[in-house]
Amino acid sequence: MATLGTAASSAVMQKLTAPAGMNASLAALSAPDSVHAKPVDPAQVRAQNVAPDLAERSGQIRYPVLNVYCEKITNSLTEKFRTFSGTVQMVIEVRNSQDRLDSLQSSLDLYVDSVTAVLDAGRGDWGNGMFYTGGYQVSMGAVKQGGKNYMQTAKITFEIGVSRN
């Protein structure tokens, strides 16, 4: 089961960091006269579930940070003769930090919109027995102290269908 969560996390990370991924949708969403959001380097997309304070203590962090992880694996055996036939619940946690409150919410909204645009464009077969039928849930967190001074987090939750022997 652990390899299933890891495989799903790497598939999501590939979608986000692809040339037509998050940075492409971020550029398309950013209007020249609106809030400017910095492109995301592939090193800022990580396959881990770690608290913000621990991540900051562990080393140098560049914001925004995207943490991709598997939250839940459900083997519902919808296909009776498969070893695994169910869903993997994935989370993309977007953390943004700035030294001022001015445009923190606006820039986080842009990052979330670019991630959801990648998910919308990625419906279908993801290979290796995984498929994404669409749908996600976004929950926005409150601004807290941390990072460069202020930090805000958004959590995007979605399911990937898996059918494997």
20-29 pLDDT tens trace? 999 999 888 8
**What is the predicted pLDDT for the residue at 52?**
80
Please give the single-letter amino acid code of residue 4.
L
Percent of the chain at pLDDT above 90? Answer: 70
Instruction: Provide the residue range defining the domain that includes 99.
Output: 2-164
Name the band, by pLDDT with cuts 50, 70 and 90, for residue 54: confident
Region 130-142: what's the mean pLDDT?
97
**What is the predicted pLDDT for the residue at 2?**
57
How many CB atoms within 10 Å of residue 49? 13
CATH number at residue 58: 3.30.2000
Residues 68-107 pLDDT 10s: 999 999 999 999 899 999 999 999 999 999 888 888 899 9
Sign (positive or negative) of CA dihedral 40, 46, 47, 48: negative
46 DSSP β-pair partners: 67
Cα distances from 96 to residues 27, 34, 40, 91, in angstroms, run: 17, 17, 11, 16
Q: What is the rounded distance in angstroms from the CA atom of residue 115 to the CA atom of residue 62?
A: 18
Percent of the chain at pLDDT above 70? Answer: 95
Domain count, the chain: 1
| Structure-block tokens of residue 121 | 């464009």
Quick check: 68 and 12 in contact, CB under 8 A? yes
Residues 31-42 pLDDT 10s: 665 666 788 999
3-state secondary structure of 42: helix
Q: What is the rounded distance in angstroms from the CA atom of residue 83 to the CA atom of residue 10?
A: 21
Residue found by looking up tokens 């399911």 in the block: 159
**What is the predicted pLDDT for the residue at 9?**
96
Please give the model's pTM, rounded to 2 decimal places.
Answer: 0.91
**What is the predicted pLDDT for the residue at 51?**
82
